[in-house]
Structure 1
Amino acid sequence: MEDDHNEKSLETQHSEIQSSQGTTFMRTCLNGVNTMSGVGILSVPYALSEVGWSGLILLILVAVICWYTGLLLSKCMNAHPSIKTYPDIGKLAYGNKGKVIVAVFLYLELYLVAIEFLILEGDNLNKLFPNMSFKVGNLKIEGKRGFTLLSALVFLPTTWLNSLGLLAYISAGGVLASVILVLCVLWVGAADGVGFHERGHFLKWSGMPTTLSLYAFCYCGHVVFPTLITSMKDKRQFSKVLVICFVICSFNYASMAILGYLMYGDTVKSQVTLNLPIKKISSNIAIYTTLMNPLAKYAIILSPIVMAIEGQVFQYYKSKFTSFAIRTLLVMSTVVVALSVPFFGYLMALTGAILCVTASILLPCLCYLKISNRYCSFGLQWLSIISIMVVGILIAVLGTYVSLRDIINHI
Structure 2
Amino acid sequence: MSRAAGFTEVIPQRPAFVFAPDQEPLGAHDGVQYGRRDEETEAGQSPAQPRVSLLRQHLEAHPGSAIREDSPEPGASESRPLLQPDSHSGTGSFPGQERKGLDNDLRRTFSISSGTSNSQSIFAIPPQLAVPDLVGSYGSYRSYGTVTSADSYGRESMAQAAEMWRQQQAAGNVLDGGTPPILVKEVEDRDGKIVLTVEGQSTLPQTIFNSTNVLIGVGLLSLPMGIKYAGWLCGMVILLSAAAVTSYTAKLLAKCMDLDPSLITFSDLAYISFGRNARIATSILFTLELLAACVALIVLFADSLDLLFNGLLSNTQWKIICAVILIPLNFLPLRFLSVTSVIGILCCFSIVAIIIIDGLIKPHTPGSLLEPATTYLFPANWLTLPLSFGLLMSPWGGHGVFPNIYRDMRHPRKYGRAVKFTFSFTYLLDATAAVVGLLMFGDDVMDAITSNILTTAGYPQALRYLLCALVAIIPLTKIPLNARPIISTIEVVFGLHQEAIADSSALVGMSSYLRGILKIVIRVLTIVLFLVIAIIFPAFDSIMAFMGSALCFTICVT
Please report the TM-score for the alignment, with normalisation by the length of structure 2: 0.59
C-alpha deviation, 1:179, in angstroms: 2.1
Q: Give the aligned partner of residue 386 of structure 2.
A: 209
What amino acid sits opposite 1:180 in the alignment? S
What amino acid sits opposite 1:224 in the alignment? V
Gaps of 5+ in 1: 134-142, 363-411
C-alpha deviation, 1:104, in angstroms: 0.7
Q: Give the aligned partner of residue 305 of structure 1.
A: 486
> How many residue pairs are counted as aligned between the two chains?
348
Could you tell me how far apart the structure 1 residues matched to 2:284 and 2:215 are?
A: 20
C-alpha deviation, 1:266, in angstroms: 1.0
Could you tell me how far apart the structure 2 residues matched to 1:236 and 1:15 are?
A: 19
| 3-state SS of 2:311 partner | coil
Percent of aligned pairs sharing the same letter: 24
**2:288 counterpart (108, 112, 127):** 108
* Residue pair 2:227, 2:236 contacting (<8 A) in 1 also: yes
| 3-state SS of 1:172 partner | helix
| 3-state SS of 1:342 partner | coil
C-alpha deviation, 1:323, in angstroms: 0.8
Are the structure 2 counterparts of residues 262 and 191 from structure 1 closer, same or farther at C-alpha, using a change threshold of 3 Å?
A: same
* Residue pair 1:19, 1:232 contacting (<8 A) in 2 also: no
What amino acid sits opposite 1:198 in the alignment? A
Q: Give the aligned partner of residue 67 of structure 1.
A: 247
Q: Give the aligned partner of residue 356 of structure 2.
A: 186
Q: Give the aligned partner of residue 25 of structure 1.
A: 204
Deviations 1:244-283 (A, max 9, x none): 1111110001111111111000110010000013762223
Q: Give the aligned partner of residue 430 of structure 2.
A: 253
Query: Which structure is higher in RCO with an 8 Å CA cutoff and minimum separation 6?
Result: 1
| 3-state SS of 1:233 partner | coil
Could you tell me how far apart the structure 1 residues matched to 2:406 and 2:210 are?
A: 11
Q: Is 1:156 matched up with 2:327?
A: yes
What amino acid sits opposite 1:108 in the alignment? L
What amino acid sits opposite 2:226 in the alignment? A
| 3-state SS of 2:288 partner | helix
| 3-state SS of 2:400 partner | coil
**2:451 counterpart (246, 251, 274):** 274
C-alpha deviation, 1:5, in angstroms: 11
* Residue pair 1:37, 1:174 contacting (<8 A) in 2 also: no
* Residue pair 1:164, 1:300 contacting (<8 A) in 2 also: no
Could you tell me how far apart the structure 2 residues matched to 1:148 and 1:104 are?
A: 26
**2:420 counterpart (227, 243, 250):** 243
| 3-state SS of 2:262 partner | coil
**1:343 counterpart (516, 528, 539):** 539
What amino acid sits opposite 2:473 in the alignment? M
Are the structure 2 counterparts of residues 241 and 171 from structure 1 closer, same or farther at C-alpha, using a change threshold of 3 Å?
A: farther
Gaps of 5+ in 2: 1-25, 30-112, 115-120, 124-183, 188-196
Q: Is 1:285 matched up with 2:455?
A: no
Are the structure 2 counterparts of residues 166 and 29 from structure 1 closer, same or farther at C-alpha, using a change threshold of 3 Å?
A: farther
C-alpha deviation, 1:96, in angstroms: 1.0
Q: Give the aligned partner of residue 172 of structure 1.
A: 342
Are the structure 2 counterparts of residues 181 and 15 from structure 1 closer, same or farther at C-alpha, using a change threshold of 3 Å?
A: farther
Q: Is 1:296 matched up with 2:477?
A: yes
* Residue pair 2:200, 2:411 contacting (<8 A) in 1 also: no
* Residue pair 1:124, 1:273 contacting (<8 A) in 2 also: yes
* Residue pair 1:117, 1:294 contacting (<8 A) in 2 also: yes
Could you tell me how far apart the structure 2 residues matched to 1:61 and 1:20 are?
A: 34
RMSD: 2.6
What amino acid sits opposite 1:231 in the alignment? D
* Residue pair 1:269, 1:275 contacting (<8 A) in 2 also: yes
* Residue pair 1:200, 1:266 contacting (<8 A) in 2 also: yes
* Residue pair 2:266, 2:400 contacting (<8 A) in 1 also: yes
C-alpha deviation, 1:306, in angstroms: 1.0
* Residue pair 1:155, 1:299 contacting (<8 A) in 2 also: yes
Deviations 1:153-208 (A, max 9, x none): 1111122234248717x953343222211111111110134323213000113322
Could you tell me how far apart the structure 1 residues matched to 2:427 and 2:200 are?
A: 31
Could you tell me how far apart the structure 2 residues matched to 1:165 and 1:355 are?
A: 28
Q: Give the aligned partner of residue 90 of structure 1.
A: 270
Could you tell me how far apart the structure 2 residues matched to 1:49 and 1:20 are?
A: 46
**1:265 counterpart (442, 456, 479):** 442
Q: Give the aligned partner of residue 374 of structure 2.
A: 199
Q: Give the aligned partner of residue 390 of structure 1.
A: none
Could you tell me how far apart the structure 2 residues matched to 1:247 and 1:15 are?
A: 35
What amino acid sits opposite 2:361 in the alignment? A
Pair member with larger Rg: 2
Could you tell me how far apart the structure 2 residues matched to 1:84 and 1:162 are?
A: 24
After TM superposition, the structure 1 stretch with the greater mean CA deviation from structure 2, 213-222 or 185-194, is 185-194
After TM superposition, the structure 1 stretch with the greater mean CA deviation from structure 2, 316-325 or 296-305, is 316-325
What amino acid sits opposite 1:132 in the alignment? L
C-alpha deviation, 1:326, in angstroms: 0.9
Deviations 1:366-400 (A, max 9, x none): xxxxxxxxxxxxxxxxxxxxxxxxxxxxxxxxxxx
What amino acid sits opposite 1:88 in the alignment? D
| 3-state SS of 2:334 partner | coil
Could you tell me how far apart the structure 2 residues matched to 1:235 and 1:327 are?
A: 37
